[in-house]
Copies of this chain bind each other. A is one copy, B any other.
Amino acid sequence: MLNSKVRLVENMQFVATADSGHAVVMDGPPNVGGNNTGTKPSELLLMAFGGCSGMDVISILRKKKQDVTGFEMNVSGDVAEVQPKSFQKMHIEYVITGRNISEEAVKRAIELSLGKYCLVGTTLGKSAEITHSYRIVQE
Contact = CB atoms under 8 A, between A and B. Distances in A.
A29 B18 CA distance: 13
9 contacts: A4-B46, A16-B47, A20-B39, A26-B48, A42-B52, A45-B45, A86-B126, A87-B119, A123-B127
Given A1-B77, A123-B124, 12 more contacts: A4-B75, A6-B51, A7-B72, A14-B51, A14-B55, A16-B46, A20-B36, A20-B39, A41-B48, A41-B55, A41-B119, A87-B119
Main secondary structure of the interface of A (DSSP, over half): mixed
Interface of A: 1-8, 12, 14, 16, 18-22, 24-26, 28-29, 32-34, 36, 38-52, 54-55, 58-59, 62, 70-79, 83-87, 115-117, 119-120, 122-128
